[in-house]
Amino acid sequence: MSARILVVDDQPANVRLLEAKLQAEYFDVCTAVDGFAAIEAAKLEQPDLILLDVMMPGMDGYETCRLLKDEPRTRHIPVVMVTALDQREDRIRGLESGADDFLTKPIDDVTLFARVRSLLRLKTVLDELRHRESSDALSYVMSEPIGDLDSVARAVVISGDPRAATRYAAAMPAQVRTQVETDPVTGLEAARSNADLLIVDLTSPGFDGLRLCARIRADAATRQLPILAVINPGDTPSAVRALDLGVNDIIHRPVDAGEMMARVSTQLRRKRYADRLRTQLDESLEMAITDPLTGLHNRRYIASRLHQAMESSNNGGAPVSLLIADIDHFKSINDRYGHEGGDYVLRGFAERVQRDLRALDLAARYGGEEFVIVMPGAGLAEARGASERLRASIASEPFDLGDGRSACVTVSIGCAQAEDGESAESLLRRADEALYLAKDEGRNRVEAAHSAAA
Ligand code: GH3
Ligand code: MG
């Protein structure tokens, strides 16, 4: 699917011109003739990028941009301001109203497409993070305004020209701690050690700044770091190559302190936003696969991993075996020591399970006091051995209940090895039947399943 771009301009001729250029590059284009229509179209059409004219009657581009960035449904869409003016105040005002970038008319096609590609790449990453998980917590984070920079950030300025580097460092917002590096090797090291932003001077005498940017993007530790590149005015080829390499933004020499500040703030805000999404996503992924009481995997997760392991086994891979372990007379443990005492036993049980596992094995709390362990690569004899070890380890010493008391616990276990072409459901059923046999035979026992064919 091609990217959709919303073009906003009060002059029909300008709209048609941009529309034609973008359509020629296979972008999907929608249009609006004023700020109000632009906001409505952005909410409805959810474009991937907005090209916004500054000078419009009624509501101007700055105000439109501010409203777009205030609105939760359009906040994530990158905005490029387009203007005939090339005044520093206008650029800064645009950036301060939340615009992601700035282009001056007449628009140079090469620069336009490089900018568009760069912003679309960024949006793809953010969209992926936004869509992967739609938990309540995540949508809460999404609805928060991006906000001002409140806490301290760390920037590294890499320039072969020490005087220029010092000038860039002096132009940083107050809450940014800046480190100056004049050598690309130490610069890269500084970038790897916990920086939030890099300023790379592509006009540096003595080293190839574009090569350095490529290195930064290729390195897993710095791949996500925002890069602001300094270039000479009129050096469109460098600007385009830099943006295509994944540089996030460009600033021209001589560097204007106000513009530097605005661009740095935009990059840092965006990074904070992406970091927050990433952390949130990690946490909700973790929560989605973990049993909160024991810290073992949960039922849903183990079911999907079992399917995977059996599929690869059925495709000629290693064998897979499975254990189902159920604590004996757990109800009477609860009755005797209270629900809380029962929970202590469950946690202690999980600890012993984990202590006894091989690195490859996956353990889950499957239900109340029922546990499933998947053993990739293990045959029935191995599974039986592991079951017997676990049974003995549970019976070997009483469980501490946290209040000075302790409880003697035993477990019954059924184990089974997956057979050719067998389904996960069938394997679980056979292991469960073995477990019931172990219960019937007196508990504190291990039984191996019969073959599915028998
Ligand atoms: P058996 O030897 O036949 O397995 O007997 P049992 O008592 O272990 O089995 P039963 O299924 O009769 O009882 C299981 C009990 O586990 C009942 C339920 O209240 C308790 N239980 C389930 N989930 C939890 C939990 O999260 N914490 C605690 N403390 N108890 C739980
Ligand atoms: Mg039980």
Q: Which of 133, 181, 259, 369 is catalytic?
A: 369
**Ligand 1, closest atom to CA 293?**
26
Q: Rounded to the nearest whole angstrom, what is the distance from the C-alpha of residue 329 to the centroid of ligand 2? A: 5
369: annotated active-site residue:
yes
Residue 435 has pLDDT above 90, yes or no: yes
Domains of the chain and any CATH numbers = 1-132 (3.40.50.2300), 145-283 (3.40.50.2300), 299-448 (3.30.70.270)
**Cα–Cα distances in angstroms (integers) from residue 157 to residues 243, 310, 380, in the given order:** 18, 52, 60
Q: What is the mean pLDDT of residues 288-311?
A: 90
Q: What is the mean pLDDT of residues 175-198?
A: 92
Q: How far apart are CA 422 and CA 416, in angstroms?
A: 12
pLDDT-derived band at 227 (thresholds 50, 70, 90) equals very high
| Mean of all residue pLDDT scores within the chain | 88
**Ligand 1, closest atom to CA 334?**
29
Residue 163 CB contacts under 8 Å (≥ 6 apart), including other chains: none
**Residue whose CA is at the smallest distance from ligand 1 atom 31:** 368
Q: Which helix (H) or strand (E) holds 307?
A: helix 299-314
The reported pLDDT for the residue numbered 129 is 67
Q: What is the mean pLDDT of residues 431-445?
A: 97
pLDDT, tens only, 321-332: 999 999 999 999
Q: How far apart are CA 288 and CA 285, in angstroms?
A: 5
**Residue whose CA is at the smallest distance from ligand 1 atom 12:** 331
Q: How far apart are CA 189 and CA 361, in angstroms?
A: 38
Q: Rounded to the nearest whole angstrom, what is the distance from the C-alpha of residue 308 to the centroid of ligand 2? A: 28
Angle of helix 184-192 relative to helix 209-218, nearest 10 degrees, comes to 30
Is 277 exposed, middle or buried (CB count within 10 Å of its CB: 0-12, 13-18, 19+)? buried
Q: Rounded to the nearest whole angstrom, what is the distance from the C-alpha of residue 432 to the centroid of ligand 2? A: 12
Q: What does pTM read for this prediction?
A: 0.58
**Residue whose CA is at the smallest distance from ligand 1 atom 13:** 331
Residue 295 CB contacts under 8 Å (≥ 6 apart), including other chains: 350
Ligand 1 contacts (CB < 6 A) are 293, 326-331, 334, 339, 342-343, 346, 368-369, 439, 443
Residue 142 has pLDDT above 50, yes or no: no
